[in-house]
Amino acid sequence: MGKKGLQKMMEERNQVYNLLVEKMKEFAAEIGEEIVEPEGNGISLAMSLSTLPIEECKKLGGILFSRYKVTGTRVIVSDEFWISL
Domain map of the chain by residue range? 2-84
Strand partners, 77: 82
- Domain 2-84: give its CATH code: 3.90.1150.10
Predicted TM-score (pTM) of the model is: 0.72
Q: What is the pLDDT of residue 43?
A: 84
Q: What is the pLDDT of residue 81?
A: 55
Handedness of CA 42, 44, 45, 48 (dihedral sign): negative
pLDDT in tens, 46-82: 888 888 888 888 888 889 889 999 888 888 776 655 5
> For the stretch 54-65, what's the b/e string if a residue is b when 16 or more beta carbons lie within 10 angstroms of its beta carbon?
eeebeebbeebe
